Structure 1
């Protein structure tokens, strides 16, 4: 649609409408989850699996982990995302 702007007020109104439209249509990003670092024992309880299963998954690269010295820790959200991705990949 062709619109002829004849006044400063019409121009301001047009700009305001365009900015308002742009702001209201910004794609919403999913909020990022803060890392929740937990032990293998806590993760096994949350997932309902054994420690041995976690070790096997870790060795196969199925779940991410952090190793600091001899300690192994897991970021709960990264593990859940990884398992979900593997689950979706297996369904294809």
Structure 2
């Protein structure tokens, strides 16, 4: 399921995808755009929150955290995750 809540979410997802695929090089502008609301993967989220993969899956399934799915890869807006966990509780 791909969930995009705003034009800014779409822009960040597109920029990150183009950078990861090697089509676009990380420019100063792209870096600034991504730094404000960084998109991270499952492993990075697990490390930052010190939780198991099963916990992340449970939070996604229960709607506790927002996410995007591109192909088979889940992406999380770090700022949104922190807001979601603060608002909804872990």
Q: When the two structures are superposed, what TM-score results if normalisation uses the length of structure 2?
A: 0.58
Structure 2, gaps ≥5 residues long: 1-34
* Higher RCO, Cα 8 Å, sep 6+: 2
CA RMSD of aligned residues (A): 1.2
Q: Between Structure 1 and Structure 2, how many residues are aligned?
A: 55
Alignment partner of 2:56 out of 51, 54, 58:
54
Structure 1, gaps ≥5 residues long: 1-32, 88-92
Tell me the distance in 1 between the aligned counterparts of 2:51 and 2:73.
19
Q: When the two structures are superposed, what TM-score results if normalisation uses the length of structure 1?
A: 0.57
Q: Which has the larger radius of gyration?
A: 1
Query: 4+ residue runs of structure 1 moved beyond 6 angstroms?
Result: none
